[in-house]
Chains A and B, each alone.
Chain A
Amino acid sequence: MSNRTVNINVHHVTRIEGHGNIVLNATNGKIEKLQWQVPEAPRFFEAMVRGRSYEDIQIIVSRICGICSISHSLAATKAVENATGIQVSEQADKIRLLMHYSEQLQSHVLHVGYLVAPDLFGVPSVVPLVGIAPGPVKTIIGLHRLANEWSNLLAGRITHPVTLRPGGLTKIPAETQLRELQDRLKKCLPDLKAVADVVLSVAGNLPKFERPTEYVALKETKAPRYAFYHGEIASTDCAGTVAINDWKTVANEYVSDQSTSKWAKWHRASYAVGALARFNINADLLSPTAKAVAKMFGLQKGCCNPYFNSVAQIVEAVHVVDTSIQLIDELLTKGLKQETISVSPKAGKASGAVEAPRGILFHEYEFDRKGNCMSADLCIPTTQNHANIQKDIEKLVPEILDEPEDTIRLKLEMLVRAYDPCVSCSTHMLDVKFVR
């Protein structure tokens, strides 16, 4: 039994998107306060979209998050189309999926390469890494550039896509552009493998910690495919799937007295979303190369070490590149066709969901017969992860309380970072100030 007295207050955890704090006060081995807090300025997107046209929703809500703007735009566009009865061609659906994959690669490379790697190498940021490991840093920069140029080609811009409209896309890429992209994707696979090797060489620095929990992610019901864009809601705690429109029966958002933010729970006190959740639900559908990378790290279905979320991201990065190479083949075999969008909305209410890089994302809207938005409800991956982060640190801290204060602090920060939180995203935040 520890008799340590530790006071840790990480005010604004760095190298995450948005603002979050960790507070730990322990006296003589007794933990008095241990909290993951979120003091982000609320922005009220759900209120702001009211009165806006169905055509403009995606433009507004894309701005919820700079890192997963494509996911927000896609979830919104799908929800708008579901609510207003607008159809999309098979070609547009495939190009959107290809666009979505680009964001997975961009976000995962950014997270693993720029935000997590410094911890594994024991440095405060990617800047000193340039000196320590110039080769891998250059490879990571190259992959990040590729992912961004890929987004740029299909979304018209790296951040905040401008080609998405209810009913389709405003721009269809040229055949030569897709061939060139496919070529670059093939060439980048060895680079991804090299990054995986480097991370593997320092993977021993990932803390050994496990806490069984529920994992929630999309699962495709119609095609045997690792789900990012299509499918319904699945859980490691139950069989079958839940329809997207019923996401509120999954998220069950609530305010906890002890908590600093809205929490979500389904079958247990908390659940986790993100790369590890997707892996735990869909791992058998990964590409052979992605499976080999998972094996390299000893990552197996059922893994409940949250720090391994970053490893699952590397596995997914390989998978989306592999899958995109095939998807481009499918598009080119069918032949690309120009499309004109001609839609008229009807009144309705419905939801749309996609897997943002950091987990499942739900958007719900209601429109009147003119297509003006009457109400909106958004449920963000980080909101769904908050309770799970809190439960993790509650199990972790007693296990490591005898370690040096700096180590405790680092392990706590690394844990929060592992979830790849996107705090500006989590529109449903509550924060409590502590007197210390």
Chain B
Amino acid sequence: MLQTERTPITGKRVQLMATCLCDAFFDDVAAATVEVLEHVGVEVVFPEAQTCCGQPAFNGGDWVASRKVVRHTVKTFAGEDPVVVPSGSCAAMLFHGAILEFEKEADLPDVTALGRRTWELMDYLVNGLGVKSWPGRFDGKIAFHRACHTRGTRSAEASLQLLGSIAGVQVVEFGEAEQCCGFGGTFSVAFPNISTAMGDLKLEHIRAVQPDVLVSPDMSCLMHMTGLAAREGKPIKGMHVAQVLRDALKASPATGNGTKR
């Protein structure tokens, strides 16, 4: 049961949490997130002191270590502005996981307050700002992987709404879409056999519908699936939803303002 209560959006300035994965590997996803947000008139502030949301240790059971990182994150993202994250799982860490591990801590209210203004990017665009459709053009057959940490949230529906509204996009459905890709954070390295068997099954379903690109609101799932596919010598192209939105704008930079096409 995800704690999804949110402070309503008032201003048009956000703090961007790039996520440690984008900080280390996927800089273009973070850049696309900035461009997408700015396209809808949002001012993006990037707190330089940011590191990680604390999820790896939370997930691994080391809550003492995790709380240390969460406290740093709370301090780094001080203020009232919404925190926007291009990852369903890091966002869920802040609005759900962190609250769980701070249940008995004195600073729980600070953590809860941060959770209430933390948004996954697509949820922020569609349900926070009210963006209904996306302009531009993106020619391609897209297989959409929802990313499990968006269960119980509106992120997957929001992603599909915007993707489906882009000219040229065809979203194709594939088998057992609700099943996990097998990443699971520390699970992927502690249970490598089961993790990759799950990934193989997912890839089999995805390949069966022959998409041009596999799209997800979470880079961790994509890193797992594309990494597995590449190792098998049958690479598939993965893109974050933000990259698709940004590329759509580039294909037709002059159209629309993000609320209609």
Genuine A/B complex: no
Where the two chains meet, the residues of A that have a C-beta atom closer than 8 Å to any C-beta of B are none
